[in-house]
Structures are given as C-alpha cells and as structure tokens.
Amino acid sequence: MGDTAELKLPEGQSIQLPVITGTEKERAIDIAKLRTQTGYITIDPGFGNTGSCNSKITFIDGDKGILHYRGIPIETIAEKSNFLETAYLLIYGELPSASELHRFVNDITHHTMLHEEAKRLYDGFPKDAHPMAVLSSVVAALSTFYQDEEGSPEEVFQNNCIRLLAKLPTIAAWAYKKSVGQPFIYPDNNRSYTENFLYMMFSLPAEIYQVDPEMARVLDLLFILHADHEQNCSTSTVRMVRSSGTNIFACIAAGICALWGPLHGGANQAVLEMLELIRQDGGNVQKYIELAKKKDSDFRLMGFGHRVYKNFDPRCKIIKQWCDKVLNKMQVSDPLLDIAKQLEEAALKDAYFVDKKLYPNVDFYSGIIYKAMGIPVEAFTVMFALGRLPGWLAHAKEFSDEEGNKLNRPRQIYTGPVNAPYVPVDKR
C-alpha cells in the first residue's frame, strides 16, 4: 500500500486518497474516485493545482529553473541536437539511431509539398488575414486530403505526423507570401528543415536567395526551445480534443487556435507592441519601468516573468547568447531593438524586478530575434506553432497510447439562478 492523504468532509466522514509520486519526486493526490465515493468534486479555476494526466514527455521545475525533454536537460539538447532529432525524441520517447533519424528526416523532406488543390484555400482569405487564422484553417483542411487512410491507427498516426511536420512550414510560409502579394515558393528538398522554411519565406523567383546558415541554426534552436512545455494551454487543448477521438489534423488546428491568444503564444508579439508603445512615447524606458511597479497602473511589462518559472527560465540563458549574436551579426539599426536592450538592462538591475524574480522570459528574446530576422510581428505566433508542433504530436500520441484513457469532461459548480420562472415574451 502506498502513501495516502486523508480528507475530512464537513459531514464528519473522512476518505483516504492515494498519493502518486513521479520519477522526479513530484507528488499528487489522486482524486479520481472522489465524486463516486463522496459526491464532492474539487474546483481549481485555471487548473493551476490540477494534474490532468501522467506524462513521460517533459519535466519542469519552475523553482529551480529546470526543463527536461524525456529526461534530457534542455541545455544538452540545445547544444548537441537539432530540431528534427528533438521532434523524434519527444514523439517516440527516445533518441533515434542514425538509420532511424535518416529515415525520419528523409520522410519529412519528401512530404513538404502541399496538394495543388490546397493552394486554392489561400484564395479564400483576405490579404490581411491573420496568419494564425490561415495556419489553423489550412491544417484543419488537410484532414480532407487524407481521409479513410489504410493501416492500423498507429500507422495512420505515424504517416500524419510526418505530413504535419513536413507541411506546416510550407503552410506558414505561404500564409506570409499571401499577405505580401508575392508568389508562393515551393519547398526545396536539398535544403535543411529551417533553411527550407526561410527560403520559402523570403526568396523570389526573380533572383537567387542565399539562406544565412547562422540564421537557419538560430531558428532551429528557437524551435527546439519551444518544442514542448508540459501541460500548457495549447498542449492541454490538443490532449482534450484528442480525447474525443477526432483526427490529428483537427487536434493540431485546435492547438494552434489556443496558442493564438496573447496570454499564451501571442506573448512575443505583445513584447514588440510594448516596445513600439515606448518608442512612440519618446523611448523613455525608465518611465515604463516605474509604471510597471505601480499597482494602480494598467501598464504591464511584457516578456518578463513566467507562470511556471519562479527562477530564470532555462531557455532564456540559451537564447540570450544567440540574441546578442544575431543582433551583432546582422547589425540591425532598429529603435525597437535598442529599447529592448535598455529595458532588459534596466529591469535586471532594478531591485523590484530582481526581488520578485521577474526575469526576461523566452518570449522577450524570441520576439527580438524574429524582428531582427525580418519575420513580421503578426507571424511571431506562427513561429511558436512551428516549434511547438512536436510537443503537440507527442502528447496526442501519449494520450492515444494510454490504456483506459477517456473523454475529457471537467465538472463545474453551478452558481446561477434556481427554479427561475419563464416569462412570456409579451410580458418581458
């Protein structure tokens, strides 16, 4: 018999609840049978204290600033791996052999083309359509091109994993091309994953475009750092939608929609919008540092602090080095980037932010890098989605592989009127 927790109820009875301990010594009280045995449910707005599942994919210790993918520290993966190898690790649970990785990369490389009929989908969007709307719509529509697939559920999932990893960069690049009125650029199978994406984004048929290897590398690194982050809003959404038994394209489209929100994936866009606000006000960084400290101020310092990390986000330690490297290499003259540097320096020295551990987070640095690379601000969240895709696929697979998984169906506490009368329309 393992550890148990005793819960005493108002009626005087008590119940013993199992305590579950994870491999990293996290502890949870299992309340799965609470309602059956007592009639009670728990309530936890925002699910900040609720574990929705057991998972072997990602471990976070926010107090210590730790992030592991399948048990491997993010620092090690960022230094030694690449995005597609990281994707394999997350989805399948272990690092691939040389032959497995070769086959995985080769399959993805040769599935980057979209069906020609899919190109017509873009004609239905206005030029100024938000790229996240285009991304989610086209991903959902992909399910119509791969209906009634033959093979076991595992084989179908494997094929669709490859398709999504291969085609999402093409979908994203074409959304950008649509917005600027340029012709779509087909993928080039002779290029690496991130190099191919940058090629489809920025090349033109009229001239030769050379992708900077360092820009391809930093983009690969950004994708790695965003690849998974435990049960965040979009990942939880993917798992919940998957619980209904729907296809993986619909699950990923739902994840994209959840990521779109400014409180989640849109945070790096919010950073640039904040910097623009400061620029328009004369670039007075100290004024906004002071505003952020006032309780009665509506101003929020975007890109600082994290809901999970109460220490320095480990991803930031990695990406900050590359941020400085990219800015120095590209020698970008941009007032927003100058303001960002001043803001970072001021906040890191201010006792208020240091005491509250409000360090710059990954959204702060990633937005700056995307801006320097020429990625339009409205496409920042799209970049996040490209990186997060392996994590979504890994969680969808993990949910499907679990024995006894069931349709997600949270409960609620009703607080509305009781026995309200119906009033006829002519008497209202």
Residue owning tokens 């069931």: 406
Are residues 303 and 269 in contact, defined by beta-carbon separation less than 8 angstroms?
A: no
pLDDT tens digit sequence for 7-18: 999 998 899 999
Does the annotation mark 212 as catalytic?
Answer: no
pLDDT of residue 165: 98
pLDDT digits 0-9 by tens, 222-265 = 999 999 999 999 999 999 999 999 999 999 999 999 999 887 88
Res. 359 pLDDT band, cuts 50 70 90: confident
Which entry of 68, 306, 313, 395 is annotated as an active-site residue? 306
Contact at 8 Å (CB) between 371 and 208? no
Please compute the mean of the pLDDT values over residues 176-181 and round it to a whole number: 94
Alpha helices (runs of H) in 181-313, residue ranges in sequence order: 193-202, 213-226, 233-243, 248-259, 267-280, 285-293
Catalytic member of 220, 228, 313, 363: 363
Is 226 part of the annotated catalytic residue set? Answer: no
From 22, 52, 218, 189, select the one nearest 108 (Cα to Cα): 189
Query: Coil, strand, or helix at residue 67?
Result: strand
Q: Which domains does the chain have, with CATH numbers?
A: 4-66 (2.20.28.60), 74-223+230-261 (1.10.580.10), 267-377 (1.10.230.10)
Nearest Cα to 384, choosing from 214, 274, 263? 263
Tell which residue, 288, 279, 229, has the closest CA to residue 259.
229
End-to-end CA distance of the chain: 61
User: Can you tell me whether residue 95 is helix, strand or coil?
Assistant: coil
Pairwise CA distance, residues 174 & 162, whole Å: 19
Global pTM value: 0.92
Which range, 28-37, 87-96, 397-406, has the best average confidence (pLDDT)?
87-96
Band of residue 333 on the pLDDT scale cut at 50, 70, 90: low
The mean of the pLDDT values for the chain is: 92
1 pLDDT above the threshold of 60: no
Determine if residue 297 is left, alpha or beta; phi over 0 gives left, psi from -120 to 50 gives alpha, anything else beta: beta
